[in-house]
Amino acid sequence: AQTVTQSQPEMSVQEAETVTLSCTYDTSENNYYLFWYKQPPSRQMILVIRQEAYKQQNATENRFSVNFQKAAKSFSLKISDSQLGDTAMYFCASPAGIYKYIFGTGTRLKVLA
């Protein structure tokens, strides 16, 4: 069965510091995207960053970057210079067949002032 595992239910980080959220996945697809989504208390699911599996270069979006290890099926999210507004649930998502994505159970990140 295709799975997505986020092994850190909760994490906290001091404002301005760096934190890494881990995710491992299992998919049988050849070409695919991997995603990190942020879900603040407002519950809107917001795309943080995506990685194309065939690209070896790790994706970067401002303070957010990924460490993509395709062979190990690992896809971690690094948040640099953490801000209070980064406090949210973070979900990793990978494809499970053509028509759907599966999500991990999430990591609750709290940024401390």
Q: How far apart are CA 80 and CA 62, in angstroms?
A: 9
Among 23, 65, 88, 104, binds another protein (CB under 8 A): 104
Residues 58 and 67 sit within 8 Å (Cβ to Cβ): yes
Q: Whose CA is closest to 75, among 6, 19, 28? A: 6
Q: Which residues within the stretch 56-95 sit at the binding site for another protein (CB under 8 A)?
A: 91, 93, 95
Q: How far apart are CA 84 and CA 59, in angstroms?
A: 23
Q: Which residues within the stretch 13-52 sit at the binding site for another protein (CB under 8 A)?
A: 29, 31-33, 35, 37, 42-47, 50, 52
Is 112 among the residues that bind another protein (CB under 8 A)? no
Is 110 among the residues that bind another protein (CB under 8 A)? no
Is 103 among the residues that bind another protein (CB under 8 A)? yes
Among 36, 68, 75, 101, binds another protein (CB under 8 A): 101
AA identity, residue 5: T
Q: How far apart are CA 72 and CA 86, in angstroms?
A: 27
Which residue ranges make up the site for another protein (CB under 8 A)? 4, 29, 31-33, 35, 37, 42-47, 50, 52-53, 91, 93, 95-106
